[in-house]
Amino acid sequence: MIKYIRPVKPDSAKGLVADVYAQVKRDFGRVVEPFQMHSPLPKLLAGAWMVCREAELVGIVPRVTKEVVAASISQLNQCQYCVDAHTIMLIAAGEGQLANDISKGCYENISDEKVFMIVKWALATTSPRSELLRWLPFSKQEAPEIIGTTVFYHYMNRMANALLGKTPLPLSQSWLKSLLKSFAGITFSSALGRTKTVGDALQFLPRVDLPNDLRWAKPSANIAQAYACFAGSVEEAGENALPVEVRAHVQEELSQWMGKTSELSLAWAEDAISRFDEATEAAARLALLAALAPDRIDEGAVLAFKKHYPEDEKLVGVLAWASFAAARKIGTWICQSSV
């Protein structure tokens, strides 16, 4: 279920949204809610899909490995919707036991040493001082795909925590989950195994320069272009949705952020934004939560923002800009390792 906004449904999509949806359905299997929630901003939708497809769905790294990264990052960020979604994809790939181990957090049961090390690495990506980030459990050739997937899900988890329900499954009862995941996996299995051409998603947005803080993507031309386009679409969305002083304040907070956000730091941030007028304060609060504490976004914060900015484009823009700002910051920590 998508909350707070009215997304463009696949059967009513036109123009760029329709074009992106068609490729999503072909290559992903279904036009799932995480893409639909971007549809109020067509260029943002295109950029998000470009990054997802070019980093996660194609390339030299096995899809299972990247689904493990996505599921592990989602566990780290307490995004149950995305944990369910990516363990479903693991089931679709024939990795039911691995999906179960990650879903339950039983990482010690993972017998494949490389997969285990990638899980441990992914779980350390919000701990910039962790020794686990000093050495990558994958090659330099694999790095753009795995880091690209990692950064994308630090972004997507934040969006999902704000705009989606607790699970993509029709029922949330724990005793039914295994059965429902198995059925859902069948839906995606044919698309998961279908051959895909690198670079097919790059048609949707014009080429732009890659920002310096995303330089980890440079060794892969298609991932670099996808991330450059996504960054441009996010920046445009943020400029249209957030006052410049709010964006500056969030960036200042992120410059001091070390991956964990305490009650004390949230209280300090709350005090700092009290100097703004009511509308700007509501925007700043929502943006700060999306960036620093996405699991704490509640209906009150969203409705306080929508009171002043009722347009779906504004809400999606604020969340996307703040979420990607945090994800980019995490990417810089990874870049300090031996890429």
List active site positions: 82
Q: What CA–CA distance (Å, rounded) separates 229 from 245? A: 24
DSSP letter (8 states) at residue 202: G
Q: Which residues of 81-116 are buried (b: 16+ CB within 10 A; e: fewer)?
A: bbbbbbbbbbbbbebbebbbbbbeeeeeebeeeebb
Q: Which of 108, 49, 39 is nearest to 316 (CA)?
A: 39
CA 310 centroid distance within chain: 24
Give the DSSP per-residue string, 252-274: HHHHH--S---HHHHHHHHHHHT
Helix or strand run (H / E) with residue 177: helix 174-193
Q: Which residues of 122-143 are buried (b: 16+ CB within 10 A; e: fewer)?
A: bbbbbebebebbeebbbeeebb
DSSP letter (8 states) at residue 214: G
Provide CB contacts within 8 A for 288, sequence distance 6+: 249, 250, 253, 266, 269, 273, 322
Assess contact for 269 and 289: CB atoms under 8 A. no
Provide CB contacts within 8 A for 24, sequence distance 6+: 30, 31, 32, 35, 49
Q: What CA–CA distance (Å, rounded) separates 100 from 87? A: 7
Assess contact for 156 and 45: CB atoms under 8 A. no
How many other C-beta atoms are found inside a 10 Å radius of the C-beta of residue 255? 8
